[in-house]
């Protein structure tokens, strides 16, 4: 009698979650072929690739348990449509989780594609194609999953374009305004720094593969200083934590410049060779209002500390002292003045010439080093072939509530038709978009047709008319760069998609066929798309960084280093010479000078002066989730148990309101209200309160109807890049007056 054949193989994949580390992942897959030829396969192990120089063989806590997610009993495996008469919205806040399926009925892919194509065609005919709004972000950052066939589809349809601003746009535009390209200190080089400043960067929480390099530097004597209003895991492990007030980072950077210029510690030769605008910046920084004493009043960091910080920063890299590296993350740019703040911080290594030595500089992102051909993938020219015959309007994703409730209605901006169809993929806007009450009001509309492509029933699927099953990164093939290192990678499909899950590429290619789009580009395979992505299109850095990188070479090796320029010593030192800059002037641009303006919603801003909402609110990210992703995985939730359902508040603020640990409190402002338990302590400075982003339906103590922190955030945009201003939010708190609903 024949016996089953058991085979094991190891597949190279890449973690496609929105994280700078883009880890190389090894997936062990077991395949069983039964005597009758039937074959089953299952991923049985997931591990970091030990040969990847940044992954170095380990994964973060959440992805180390990724098979829980892949094989979760909660995975969506089939297309579904809302049952006739089933209302949109959670079935009931206390019972919604686990009962979502009651509102839906299973349908075939054929029915689902037909239904969606018919509805989109009808809406486009009646209201114009711009009434259709795609909504996606970085649920996957693989090039194909993030933006390829989906963009082609919506461009050809004539749908509104989405301005994908919600996470990093303010900082990215700011950095490019100074350097011309998003590039920074390679992570491995942090091991050579003598001073490391983690500025708005919770490295130990969500950039953990940088940590070993920092530890290596610390073993050699480097100091780690964390600048962050919240005492993050990273701050707790640092040599010094500066608990800055939210949204005041730009002024701290200017005060550091003040001291550096005042003491004559700038690198004049470097400034002359590599920058423009140094004298104007010097004059600006030396004004009295940028002095440490004045900055102390606003930032909450005392003048002596600012002086010491500036001195330590400027002296690093001189007289045999290893240089200073700043890890700037996207925290600081999510405030009203965040773009300017990012510009100011990014200028610091230009002033001291920190770039000239290995281990010096700043890293916000390395993504600009990857010249992926996004134009070839996304084909914006297809908009001309759409019924519009022109480029479609652009809707800012950070104002989704406005788009769903105001556009085409009372919209004074006259920006075209109302949104009548919303197509969500790679995102969970009901949980992560600011001004949540406006977003949910919009998504509740009966006359809004909503499609959601997802792996789980989320807060957003509660509002869907059609739900489509999406695969995890183990189930698709893709190519990926990184924004925290300099290796291109290919992610092979480790296992077949579970159930009837279909990739973004397949979904939108099939939908294009249903819509009758004749262009052959809608038949491109994944391999063809990968080849197109690798036909470099970005700015060359002295030469093509994709030299020698092809689909075949990536398939052979998994990861391949970019061909970065090197100096005579074989070192890659970004911005060490003028050739690196990609600004119009070909130099680091220090103009216009960064001007600090306090956020309207801050203790120094106009809104605070009204006095109604005096506390600065930090709607912070979890260490072990990826925004809202992973929040529904029990073992990952356990890792975040310390802050579940809590509002962290300083003892002074708690005492002023007669609150003690464990009290149920309402956190509110003019936009919304959430209910949490007070956790009194010094994780936040006086005047600041913090709570963690969570799924609405999983929010711990929610007497106010399944809302999360975004019930309180606004749709105000950043000064640069039109990004979201999550960290410019004022609130007040009071003892709760209603009983909590048990969950």
Query: In angstroms, how far is the first alpha carbon of the chain from the final one?
Result: 53
Sequence-separated (6 or more) residues with CB below 8 Å from residue 507: 149, 150, 425, 453, 468
Of residues 676 through 705, those in contact with ligand SF4 by CB under 6 A are none
Judged by beta carbon, residue 486 or residue 541, the one nearer ligand SF4 is 486
Judged by beta carbon, residue 480 or residue 532, the one nearer ligand SF4 is 480
Judged by beta carbon, residue 15 or residue 618, the one nearer ligand SF4 is 15
CB 627 within 8 A of CB 694: no
| Residue 367 found at the interface with ligand SF4 (CB under 6 A) | no
Judged by beta carbon, residue 61 or residue 417, the one nearer ligand SF4 is 61
Q: Which stretch binds ligand SF4 (CB under 6 A): 18-26, 444-452, 580-588, 674-682?
A: 18-26
Q: Which stretch binds ligand SF4 (CB under 6 A): 11-19, 90-98, 216-224, 591-599?
A: 11-19
Of residues 193 through 212, those in contact with ligand SF4 by CB under 6 A are 208-209
Q: Which stretch binds ligand SF4 (CB under 6 A): 21-29, 303-311, 383-391, 665-673?
A: 21-29
Q: Minimum distance from CB of 77 to ligand SF4 (Å)? A: 24
Q: Minimum distance from CB of 453 to ligand SF4 (Å)? A: 21
| One residue of 12, 13, 15, 253 binding ligand SF4 per CB under 6 A | 15
Task: Look at residue 197 and give its three-state secondary structure.
Answer: strand
Backbone angles phi, psi at 390, to 5 degrees: -155, 175
CB 332 within 8 A of CB 364: no
Judged by beta carbon, residue 478 or residue 510, the one nearer ligand SF4 is 478
Judged by beta carbon, residue 208 or residue 512, the one nearer ligand SF4 is 208
Of residues 324 through 353, those in contact with ligand SF4 by CB under 6 A are none
Residues 4 and 486: their CA atoms lie apart, in Å, by 43
Q: Minimum distance from CB of 47 to ligand SF4 (Å)? A: 10
| Residue 21 found at the interface with ligand SF4 (CB under 6 A) | yes
Burial letters 263-272, b for 16+ CB under 10 A, else e:
eebbbeebbe
Residues 322 and 238: their CA atoms lie apart, in Å, by 18
Closest by CA to 728, choosing from 740, 713, 743, is: 713
Strands (E) located in 355-416: 361-363, 394-396
Q: Minimum distance from CB of 11 to ligand SF4 (Å)? A: 15
| Residue 636 found at the interface with ligand SF4 (CB under 6 A) | no
Q: Minimum distance from CB of 191 to ligand SF4 (Å)? A: 18
Sequence-separated (6 or more) residues with CB below 8 Å from residue 635: 65, 68
Count of C-beta atoms within a 10 Å radius of residue 612: 12
Give the residues across from 10 on adjacent strands.
28
Of residues 53 through 82, those in contact with ligand SF4 by CB under 6 A are 59-60, 63
Residues 336 and 598: their CA atoms lie apart, in Å, by 8
Closest by CA to 705, choosing from 735, 730, 740, is: 740
Q: Minimum distance from CB of 62 to ligand SF4 (Å)? A: 6
Sequence-separated (6 or more) residues with CB below 8 Å from residue 16: 22, 140, 141, 142, 145, 473, 478, 480, 491
Q: Minimum distance from CB of 22 to ligand SF4 (Å)? A: 5
Judged by beta carbon, residue 15 or residue 377, the one nearer ligand SF4 is 15
Q: Which stretch binds ligand SF4 (CB under 6 A): 13-21, 221-229, 269-277, 515-523?
A: 13-21
CB 449 within 8 A of CB 420: yes
DSSP string, 442-498: HHT-TT-EEEEEESS--TTGGG-SEEEE---GGGS-EEE--SSSSEEEEE---SPPS
Q: Minimum distance from CB of 21 to ligand SF4 (Å)? A: 4
Judged by beta carbon, residue 216 or residue 500, the one nearer ligand SF4 is 216
Residues 647 and 699: their CA atoms lie apart, in Å, by 12
Size of the site for ligand SF4 (CB under 6 A): 11
Q: Minimum distance from CB of 63 to ligand SF4 (Å)? A: 3
Of residues 22 through 51, those in contact with ligand SF4 by CB under 6 A are 22-23
| One residue of 12, 13, 17, 512 binding ligand SF4 per CB under 6 A | 17
Q: Minimum distance from CB of 119 to ligand SF4 (Å)? A: 35
Q: Which stretch binds ligand SF4 (CB under 6 A): 17-25, 100-108, 443-451, 719-727?
A: 17-25
Judged by beta carbon, residue 61 or residue 614, the one nearer ligand SF4 is 61
Residues 335 and 598: their CA atoms lie apart, in Å, by 10
Judged by beta carbon, residue 21 or residue 228, the one nearer ligand SF4 is 21
User: At 13, which helix (H) or strand (E)?
Assistant: strand 5-14
Closest by CA to 424, choosing from 154, 72, 681, is: 154
Q: Which stretch binds ligand SF4 (CB under 6 A): 16-24, 329-337, 514-522, 553-561?
A: 16-24
Q: Minimum distance from CB of 466 to ligand SF4 (Å)? A: 29
Of residues 454 through 473, those in contact with ligand SF4 by CB under 6 A are none
CB 512 within 8 A of CB 45: no
Q: Which residues bind ligand SF4 (CB under 6 A)?
A: 15, 17, 19, 21-23, 59-60, 63, 208-209
């Amino acid at each position: 009698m024949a016996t089953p054949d058991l085979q094991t193989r190891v597949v190279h994949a890449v973690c496609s979650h929105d994280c700078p580390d883009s880890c190389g992942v090894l997936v062990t897959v077991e395949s069983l072929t039964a005597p009758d030829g039937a074959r089953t396969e299952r991923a049985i192990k997931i591990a970091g690739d030990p040969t990847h120089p940044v992954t170095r063989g380990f994964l973060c806590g959440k992805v180390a348990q990724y098979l829980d997610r892949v094989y979760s009993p909660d995975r969506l495996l089939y297309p579904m449509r809302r049952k006739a008469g089933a209302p949109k919205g959670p079935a009931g806040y206390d019972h919604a989780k686990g009962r979502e399926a009651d509102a839906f009925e299973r349908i075939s892919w054929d029915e689902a594609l037909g239904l969606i194509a018919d509805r989109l065609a009808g809406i486009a005919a009646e209201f114009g194609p711009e009434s259709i709004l795609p909504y996606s972000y970085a649920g996957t950052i693989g090039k194909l999953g993030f933006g390829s066939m989906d963009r082609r589809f919506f461009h050809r349809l004539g749908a509104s374009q989405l301005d994908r601003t919600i996470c990093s746009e303010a900082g990215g535009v700011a950095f490019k305004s100074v350097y011309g390209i998003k590039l920074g200190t390679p992570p491995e080089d942090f091991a050579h720094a003598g001073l490391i400043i983690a500025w708005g960067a919770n490295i130990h929480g969500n950039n953990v593969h940088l940590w070993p390099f920092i530890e290596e530097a610390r073993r050699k004597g480097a100091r780690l200083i964390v600048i962050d209003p919240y005492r993050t895991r990273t701050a707790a492990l640092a040599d010094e934590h500066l608990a800055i007030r939210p949204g005041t980072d730009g002024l701290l950077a200017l005060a550091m410049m003040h001291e550096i210029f005042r003491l004559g510690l700038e690198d004049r030769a470097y400034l002359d060779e590599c920058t423009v605008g140094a004298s104007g910046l010097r004059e600006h920084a030396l004004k009295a209002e940028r002095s440490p004493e004045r900055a102390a009043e606003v930032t909450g960091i005392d003048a002596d500390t600012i002086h010491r910080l500036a001195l330590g920063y400027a002296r690093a890299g001189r007289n045999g002292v290893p240089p200073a590296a700043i890890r700037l993350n996207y925290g600081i740019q999510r405030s009203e003045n965040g773009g300017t703040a990012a510009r100011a911080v990014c200028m610091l290594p230009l002033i001291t010439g920190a770039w000239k030595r290995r281990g010096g500089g700043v890293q916000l992102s390395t993504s600009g080093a990857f010249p992926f051909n996004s134009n070839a993938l996304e084909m914006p020219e297809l908009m001309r072939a759409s019924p519009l015959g022109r480029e479609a309007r652009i809707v800012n994703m950070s104002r989704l509530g406005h788009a769903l409730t105001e556009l085409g209605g009372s919209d004074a901006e006259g920006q075209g038709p109302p949104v009548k169809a919303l197509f969500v993929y790679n995102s969970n806007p009901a949980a992560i978009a600011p001004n949540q009450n406006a977003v949910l009001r919009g998504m509740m509309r009966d006359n809004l047709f909503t499609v959601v492509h997802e792996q789980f029933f989320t807060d957003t699927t509660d509002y869907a008319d059609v739900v489509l099953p999406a695969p995890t990164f183990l189930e698709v093939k893709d190519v990926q760069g990184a924004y925290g290192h300099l290796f291109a990678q290919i992610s092979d499909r480790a296992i077949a998609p579970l159930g009837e899950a279909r990739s973004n590429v397949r979904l939108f290619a099939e939908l294009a066929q249903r819509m009758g789009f004749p262009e052959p580009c809608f038949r491109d395979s994944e391999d063809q798309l990968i080849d197109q992505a690798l036909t470099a299109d970005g700015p060359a850095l002295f030469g093509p960084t994709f030299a020698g990188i092809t689909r075949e070479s990536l398939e052979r090796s998994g990861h391949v280093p970019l061909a970065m320029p090197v100096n005579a010593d074989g070192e890659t030192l970004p911005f060490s010479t003028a050739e690196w800059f990609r600004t119009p002037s070909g130099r680091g641009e220090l103009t216009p000078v960064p001007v600090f303006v306090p956020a309207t919603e801050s203790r120094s801003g106009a809104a605070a002066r009204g006095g109604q909402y005096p506390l600065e609110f930090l709607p912070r990210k979890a260490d072990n989730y990826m925004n809202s992703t992973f929040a529904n995985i029990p073992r990952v939730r356990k890792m975040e148990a310390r802050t579940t359902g809590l509002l962290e508040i300083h003892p002074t603020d708690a005492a002023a309101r007669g609150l003690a640990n464990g009290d149920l409190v309402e956190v509110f402002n003019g936009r919304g209200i959430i209910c949490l338990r007070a956790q009194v302590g010094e994780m936040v400075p006086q005047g600041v309160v913090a709570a963690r982003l969570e799924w609405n339906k999983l929010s711990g103590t929610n007497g106010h109807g399944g809302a999360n922190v975004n019930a309180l955030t606004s749709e105000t945009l950043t000064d640069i890049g039109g990004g979201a201003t999550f960290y410019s939010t004022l609130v007040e708190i009071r003892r709760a007056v209603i009983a909590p609903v048990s969950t």
